Structure 1
């Protein structure tokens, strides 16, 4: 039992009247003790549940980011015409809707925008299909690739993927240890969602994150990230919905007229309500029936065959091409995404990526 952690747990979990907020340094210490498993499983579970009930502050989340940055491996800055886009998703996978991230990453990379995603294996409590399974269906297997190999892929402006079980063992150990509690803790969820990738302050990454809208701006600003996009997307992801309004927060959106006063400092966010119907994409979200079925539809799409999935990818990619600075408007981004898909250029990017990630032959 960690006596240091017990004191921090007492501050967080002593109830609404006597509980206290942690300082940034205390939050970093608590996270470090959990990741290194110097705290016991019971202590870790109690901390996560208490934090979920009370809700972490931006300062606490920034401290947690500090711990992940200290312990986790990191990709290095690259030379590129556009900032690296980090597409953050929940680690518990998808069960209802088709994930748009893999094909969106391929479209962005084809347009010259470096992008990296991240994830792991199936995790509780949802146990949804993780992105790694869809990449494998497309012929790209990220399992076993070293961080140096992912770095090489990213430097060539191909889409990269950071697989946490291979590259960040403390996060994997604590997720398997804590089971359901891992997914109920927004603090730990936010940590794996952002940190182990690129240093935002050194590489200029745009972090497109599933939105804990109250706390993300403050914690990201405190951690040095000034290029931020938050999206209330499909199943907690940054995939744009087609059935409802997408609620988006944009920092550094100098080209976007402020729609409302900035929500929070560090950094200020402009609120954007994006309606698919205004761009001709209103429809039911593409359902996820099974991984093999969706992979088949993905491959058909890459061959230029029209489908509802193609419409979703064009819609999603068009927004991110604009947000990355590759296109002057969302409409221009939509046109470019459609052209890249129909002309087969995105498929060519996938084929190149397949070759780059093939395992070396054994002697």
Structure 2
């Protein structure tokens, strides 16, 4: 048993009136002790559930990310600006994800992208990114980190599979299943950046208070460019059934700039594509890559148009939609996927 870790439990687990927040240094130490199994299983479980009940602060998330940055894998800088997409680790269960198509589109347009994720995790056990990539013919679990770096430099796309490239995290995911709740680690990982260069962090969220936690943590980490998307199932995917709510860092003030984007104003119907089987999703993705018109293509164009504009490739969203359609119909996005199949 660790007496130091017991003190952290006492601070966060003393109840609504007397519990205290951890400092950034304390949160970093607590995270390292959990990753390195220096705390006992009983202590780790107690801490995770107590911390969830208390709710994390931005400073605590920054400290946890300090530990991830010290112990976790990192891709090395390239000469271009990079986008890091933060997407929930327990996968999708209701709506078809478009983010991998978005990443391929951005890379085909010259905007490098890094993604990261694990396997099917509690509490949703939804469809994870790694299984979709595998269905498209790319198995990132076969690549060691130095190979990921080579692929990233060549193609503009990198993927960190946490069980393979950051195995210290694996034991902690067992606690999610046993506790039946997502611990604050799940929130923290949405803004984790497995890259040593300057990056534009794009993270999805569900609950509005998450935005302020993200912003505080990233400012403490001196990340200056970030975007938060109230997306489908907490992802970075823009919805079609409601107005998309987006906040992003401002170069002029410390306040978030705010966008409210209505799909119908850009000619899109208010319908999200439901998630069927993985095989059906892969077939729909292959259809988009072939340039075929479909409901899923509408989702791809809506998301692609926004991200091509937001990354500075196109002057406005409508131009981004036009550019996305051109990239799909020309076969350049499909060619980008073929570059990844070794």
TM-score grouping bracket, smaller chain normalisation: over 0.9
Match of 1:172 among 159, 170, 173: 170
**Corresponding residue for residue 195 of structure 2:** 198
What is the TM-score normalised by the length of structure 2?
Answer: 0.95
Q: Quote the offset at 1:183 in angstroms.
A: 5.1
**8 Å Cα contact 2:155-2:339 kept in structure 1:** no
**Corresponding residue for residue 89 of structure 1:** 87
Measured on the aligned residues, the alpha-carbon RMSD in Å equals: 1.5
**8 Å Cα contact 1:109-1:158 kept in structure 2:** yes
Q: Quote the offset at 1:178 in angstroms.
A: 4.2
SS class of match (1:179): helix
Q: Quote the offset at 1:298 in angstroms.
A: 1.0
Q: Quote the offset at 1:180 in angstroms.
A: 4.9
**Corresponding residue for residue 244 of structure 2:** 246
CA distance in 2, matches of 1:184, 1:49: 9
* Equivalenced residues, count: 338
SS class of match (1:207): strand
**Corresponding residue for residue 67 of structure 1:** 67
**Corresponding residue for residue 315 of structure 1:** 302
CA distance in 2, matches of 1:232, 1:17: 31
What is the TM-score normalised by the length of structure 1?
Answer: 0.90
**Corresponding residue for residue 259 of structure 1:** none
Q: Quote the offset at 1:214 in angstroms.
A: 2.3
SS class of match (1:248): strand
**Corresponding residue for residue 15 of structure 1:** 15
Does the C-alpha gap of structure 1 residues 75 and 182 become closer, same or farther in structure 2, counting only changes over 3 Å? farther
Cα deviation, 1:305-347, whole Å, max 9, x if unaligned, reads 1111111011111111111111111111111111100111111
CA distance in 2, matches of 1:183, 1:310: 34
SS class of match (1:283): coil
Unaligned residue ranges in structure 2 (runs of 5+): none
Q: Does 1:25 align with 2:12?
A: no
Q: Does 1:220 align with 2:218?
A: yes
**Corresponding residue for residue 328 of structure 1:** 315
SS class of match (2:142): coil
**Corresponding residue for residue 361 of structure 1:** none
**8 Å Cα contact 1:44-1:178 kept in structure 2:** no
Does the C-alpha gap of structure 1 residues 130 and 45 become closer, same or farther in structure 2, counting only changes over 3 Å? same
**Corresponding residue for residue 76 of structure 2:** 76
**8 Å Cα contact 1:92-1:183 kept in structure 2:** no
**Corresponding residue for residue 257 of structure 1:** none
Does the C-alpha gap of structure 1 residues 177 and 55 become closer, same or farther in structure 2, counting only changes over 3 Å? closer
CA distance in 2, matches of 1:327, 1:239: 19
**Corresponding residue for residue 348 of structure 1:** 335
Does the C-alpha gap of structure 1 residues 285 and 278 become closer, same or farther in structure 2, counting only changes over 3 Å? same
